[in-house]
Amino acid sequence: MPESSCSPCCQPASIGKKIIMALTGLVLAGFVLGHMSGNLLMFKGPQAINAYAEWLHSHPGALWIARFILILSVIGHIWTGILLTLENRAARAGGPAIDATRRASISSRTMPYSGIVILAFLGFHLLHYTFRKVALGGKDFGEDVYAMVVFGFSSPAVSVFYIVSMLLLCLHLSHGVSSVFQTLGLRNERWRGRVDLIATAYGWIIALGFISIPLAVLLGCIK
């Protein structure tokens, strides 16, 4: 290949996909932080988490705008992720990119797979706590979100699936947040290590925050 030639990943179309991937990822990363913060109200007791849930449902307009943005972000993130994965695989067929793949971190190499598991978890989580169709024993908890969450996480199988999914989310965020800075031109070689450290810390903060709730339920700290 002539030196002036550019790999598929350098083409304007690919750059556009990476920007979409970064911006939608930024929206989703911000959402999980807000969602985790709300969920941690479980540790303050039934009144706090139930009041928070009631406040959300008392603002249906804002809630549906947020949901609409999230749905668009999820679709955009998944679609561009698939396209970029296919492009990267095609680029690696050229040879030199294989070495780069070997040097890539575990978080980077597992992005497509962690994304699939997280997507499956998202579907289950919506059916579990939003639509209340699975793993709740047919019980009607009404407006008592606290009791519903405790009952849901009282199942070891559900809690283990949740915890494993959050650990994969940690890997996904660790690489994804760092990639956002790179795609938007906010990460250079001088700051690379610090940005990667911030991204990893963010991933662990989110994961441990979410994981603390099912663990607390299983250990009897929340009941």
Which pLDDT score, from 0 to 100, does residue 188 have? Answer: 75
pLDDT, tens digit, 9 for 90 and up, residues 139-181: 999 999 999 999 999 999 999 999 999 999 999 999 999 999 8
- Asked, for residue 164, whether it belongs to a domain, the answer is yes
Asked, for residue 1, whether it belongs to a domain, the answer is: no
Q: Distance between CA atoms of 128 and 144, rounded to whole angstroms?
A: 15
Higher pLDDT, 98 or 160: 160
Q: pTM for the complete prediction? A: 0.87
Q: What is the pLDDT of residue 49?
A: 98
Closest CA relative to residue 29, chosen from 185, 187, 181: 181
Does 95 score more than 90 pLDDT? no
Asked whether residue 4 is assigned to any structural domain, the reply reads: no
Whether residue 145 is contained in a domain is answered as: yes
- Rounded CA-CA distance 223/219 in Å is 9
> What confidence score (pLDDT) does residue 96 get?
54
Mean pLDDT of 217-221: 97
pLDDT at 65 over 80: yes
Q: Token pair of 166, please? A: 């959050």
Q: Which residue has the higher pLDDT, 166 or 185?
A: 166
Domain hosting residue 20, numbered range: 10-218
What's the structural domain count of the chain?
1
Which has the minimum average pLDDT: 55-64, 89-98, 180-189?
A: 89-98
> In angstroms, rounded to a whole number, what is the distance separating the alpha carbons of residues 81 and 19?
11
In a domain, 94, yes or no: yes
What CATH number is associated with residue 20? 1.20.1300.10
pLDDT score for 204 = 97
pLDDT value of residue 185: 83
Please give the pLDDT value at position 102: 47
Q: CA–CA separation, 208 vs 214, rounded Å?
A: 11
The per-residue pLDDT for range 74-85, each reduced to its tens digit, is 999 999 999 998
Q: What is the token pair recorded at 48?
A: 């706090």
pLDDT reported for residue 109: 76
How is residue 135 annotated by DSSP?
Answer: S
The verdict on residue 153 lying in a domain is yes
In a domain, 5, yes or no: no
What's the chain's average pLDDT? 88
Q: What is the pLDDT of residue 106?
A: 76
Helix, strand, coil percentages in the chain from 3-state DSSP, rounded to 5: 80, 0, 20
Pairwise CA distance, residues 133 & 125, whole Å: 10
Q: Is residue 2 part of a domain?
A: no
